[in-house]
């Protein structure tokens, strides 16, 4: 009997503790992509990236013009060149052409690297703001809204995070589930029944 009472006491204690933990769990959601898109730093980064892209393209166009001029000069002067000089000049022109052909890939790599350098501090700032809002408002979990197919009810915390960052959320964005209201659990669309 004593063993039964001890086991019953442990079971009841575990159930009460579990229900208290579940009652204290507060869940929120946020679209970090939407948050980052409304941050003023993002517009500045986009402008900076566009200027950088323009400079890279201008540099590539200058290389192309230089190659075209060199080819034109070679064609004009080749009649007076010895065979050895022609071979050296052709090698130089081929190298210039190879460099120019690799330029597009280089531009893409440089743009990607610059974009990562510009967006990293913005993402960090957004993450820190979400962390602060979670702590200040007692959220146990804040999930990435766009990554979940099925989720329990929770709050859309975009407005709270934007307020924390002194950012105004444009009308119609992030207003679906304000903190304090619960969002319905989302589910993936049902699969059609297989044909018989």
What is d(CA 123, CA 116) in angstroms, rounded to the nearest whole number? 10
| Partner residues linked to 144 by β-bridges | 30
Classified as helix, coil or strand, 115 is helix
Averaged confidence pLDDT in the chain: 80
CATH code that applies to domain 25-164: 3.30.910.20
Task: With CA atoms as reference, report the closest residue to 138 among 159, 157, 116, 115.
Answer: 157
By residue count, the chain amounts to: 196
Which of 174-182's residues contact partners 24+ apart within 8 Å by CB, and which partners?
Answer: 174/31, 174/34, 177/29, 179/28, 179/137, 179/155, 180/155, 181/155, 182/153, 182/154, 182/155
User: Which portions of the chain are predicted below pLDDT 70?
Assistant: 1-23, 173-196
What's the pLDDT score for residue 85? 87
Task: With CA atoms as reference, report the closest residue to 70 among 46, 43, 49, 91.
Answer: 91
Residue 143's contacts (CB-CB under 8 Å, 6 or more residues apart) are 27, 28, 29, 30, 151, 154
Domain ranges of the chain: 25-164
pLDDT tens per residue, range 121-146 = 999 999 999 999 999 999 999 999 98
């Amino acid at each position: 009997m004593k063993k039964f009472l001890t086991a019953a006491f442990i079971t009841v204690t575990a159930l009460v503790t579990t229900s208290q933990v579940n009652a204290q769990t507060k869940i929120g959601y946020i679209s970090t992509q939407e948050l980052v898109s409304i941050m003023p730093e993002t517009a500045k980064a986009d402008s900076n990236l566009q200027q950088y892209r323009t400079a890279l393209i201008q540099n590539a166009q200058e290389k192309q013009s230089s190659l075209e001029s060199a080819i034109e000069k070679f064609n004009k002067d080749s009649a007076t060149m010895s065979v050895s000089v022609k071979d050296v000049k052709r090698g130089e022109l081929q190298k210039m052409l190879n460099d120019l052909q690799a330029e597009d890939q280089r531009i893409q790599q440089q743009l990607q690297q610059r974009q990562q350098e510009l967006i990293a501090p913005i993402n960090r700032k957004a993450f820190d703001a979400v962390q602060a809002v979670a702590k200040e408002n007692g959220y146990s979990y804040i999930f990435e809204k766009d990554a979940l197919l099925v989720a329990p009810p929770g709050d859309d915390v975009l407005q709270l995070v934007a307020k924390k960052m002194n950012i105004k959320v444009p009308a119609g964005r992030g207003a679906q589930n304000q903190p304090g209201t619960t969002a319905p659990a989302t589910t993936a669309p049902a699969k059609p029944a297989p044909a018989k």
